[in-house]
Every structure is written in structure tokens, then in C-alpha cells.
Structure 1
């Protein structure tokens, strides 16, 4: 079970993802979480840097869909001005929102990437369907909802302890 929480790739932010490499490997669609993946949970709009990243994603040839457990108002206010399709109230990690996003992009699992900041929702949900999962560091943990902060992050800490003991999770080397 814990193995399903291990992402295929870990990066600090979405800006650290090698988009060209993913495209060369045959990936054509990106399903991304919103809160604490793209912006802080309370940030209403994209930063200028993120707007540029979205342009790069589309220029390379990717399709992009935001899949968020958040409410319509939150996700729509963020995605609509950027002309990005979305799935709100997704109920990740269930299969349905990931399948819906792949259907919207008309892509199979082996051409789809999932990017998110939570092992229990984004990584687990993506891994269950055979998607390429990328875990980013959360942008602003203090802004998270109570369930994420008190339940999900606590379970993640327990899972990380077990994954380390099994030799399935290694800390990234720090350049000094």
C-alpha cells in the first residue's frame, strides 16, 4: 500500500519540472492540482511566473487540466481567466476525476502526468491509474484546510517513516 504513495519524480516546484524531457518521453497531458501546487491555498490568481509557465506548457504541446478538490468558485476564479479547463470538487484520490481529465484531453494513462503536493490525493490517485506522478513541495502549508493539515499531512508523515524504513524513500541530496 505504501508503495502507491511514492511519486515517480519529486521536485521543489512546478518550475523545476523538465517539460521538454517529459514531452520527448511521450507525455502529452498534464493534470495538475491547484492549491499549494500552483499557488498558495489562499492565493486567488496566478503569479506572473506561473502564467509564463502555463504558456511554456502549451507551447511545448501539452494539454493542461486543473483537478482540484476545492469548490467551483475557487477553481473557476483561478482557471477561467487563464483559459484552463478544470475539474472541481474532484474527490481525489478517487479514479473518476483523473479519468474525467484524461477523457477531456482524449489521452490514455501512459501519456498523462499528474502534478500535486499531496501523496494521499495526487500521487496515490495518479499511481492507481498508472499515470506518471510528480510530487512538488507544498507552497504554503499554513494556508491549508484543516483536513489536509491535521489528517492528510499526519498520514503522510507516518507513510514517509515507513517508506524510509523499507528503503523506498530517500532524502534529496542538498548542494552545499
Structure 2
């Protein structure tokens, strides 16, 4: 199913670099708001920086794939030297595919992590990369995301009929 994540984990900050290495992952593509950062708080940037450093030390590149504009995303990520693609137009897979190809990586070497089924997981699945759903960092959303959250409740209902979605502390099949 297009909305079904391959994996679930409670937070991107619990990604284990040893597991990523075993999976052959060379790049973690991540959503920004409510995945790496609370959409309305910038204090979590230090935690994001630590994750980026930990991944880089393990030979894994962190790339943010965001629907936000370059000014907003760059303001947050440039001080930490984190690569990004802005105006990605998720759920369309083109930004993920283009960045993956620019990096010379195969689909199996890339993981897309995000907090929304309708944008992040669908885009990752359409791009053919590993998809990882995380819990949103905070419960509130920007106004435009609230619409997606409503639709996600319906999708979660149908996913739960055949396969219960639960969040784990480590990567496990969704």
C-alpha cells in the first residue's frame, strides 16, 4: 500500500547507525517540521545537529526534504551544514529521486523519514526508497497540516484493519 511505512520508530533520534550500516543505508532523507524539529520551536536544533554529526561519523548523510521554501529551511539548516531540498512538493517523489541520483545512490541505500503518511511516507514509497514513519515531535500542527492529520486518521483506520501500526524505539518492520 502506498501509505504503509516499511518501518516505524518513535523518533528519528533513535536511529541506530549500526542498524543503518547493516541495511546498507548511505543517506537518511528526512522531513523537517515535526520530524527533526518541532515546527514552532527552534531549540531542538542542537539535537538535530548531534544526530547529523552521529550519522556523518558513521558515513551516513542527512538530507532534509521539505515542502517549505528555501529561506525557511536554510535559516534552520545552514548553520549546521545540513543539506536540504526545499519546495519538494511531497507526496510527489521527484525531489527524493533527483537528490538520490545526484548523490549516486541506489534506492536501497536511501531511507525517507517523516511524521506524515500523506506526504513523507507516500513520497518515499513512490520513490522506491525505505520509508520510516515517526511520531510527530509535538501534537500541534500548522493549519495546513491539520487537514493531512484528519485524512491520516482515516488511513490509519484502514491500515490497522490488516496490520497494526505501532511505534518502536528501534527500527522494525512497520
Residue 143 of structure 2 corresponds to 146
- 3-state SS of paired residue (1:64): strand
Pick 1 or 2: higher relative contact order, CA cutoff 8 A, min separation 6. Answer: 2
1:169 maps to which of 164, 171, 174: 164
State the SS of the aligned residue for 2:119.
helix
Q: CA deviation at 1:88?
A: 0.6
User: What is the rounded CA distance, in whole Å, between the counterparts of 1:42 and 1:88 in structure 2?
Assistant: 18
Q: Does the alignment pair 1:15 with 2:20?
A: no
Distance change (3 Å), C-alpha of 1:170 and 1:42: closer
Unaligned runs of 5+ in 2: 170-174
1:155 and 2:151 matched: yes
The alignment partner of 1:135 has SS state of strand
Inter-CA distance 88–173: structure 2 relative to 1 (3 Å threshold): closer
SS in 2 for 1:4: coil
In structure 2, how many angstroms separate the alpha carbons of the residues matched to 1:169 and 1:110? 25
Which residue, out of 26, 29, 41, partners 2:27? Answer: 29
> What pairs with 1:78-97 in structure 2 (closer than 5 Å)?
78-97=76-95
RMSD over equivalenced CA pairs, Å: 1.8
Moved over 4 A (4+): none
TM-score, structure 1 as length reference: 0.89
Match of 2:172 in 1: none
Q: Given the superposition, is the C-alpha separation of residues 47 and 169 from structure 1 closer, same or farther in structure 2, using an over 3 Å criterion?
A: same
- Aligned equivalent of 2:37, options 36, 39, 42: 39
State the Cα deviation string for residues 95-154 of structure 1 (Å, max 9, x = none). Answer: 211112212322121110001110111111111122111111001231x221211x2101
CA distance in 2: counterparts of 1:88 and 1:169, whole angstroms: 32
With 12-21 and 43-52 compared, the bigger mean Cα shift is at: 43-52
Q: TM-score, normalised by structure 2?
A: 0.90
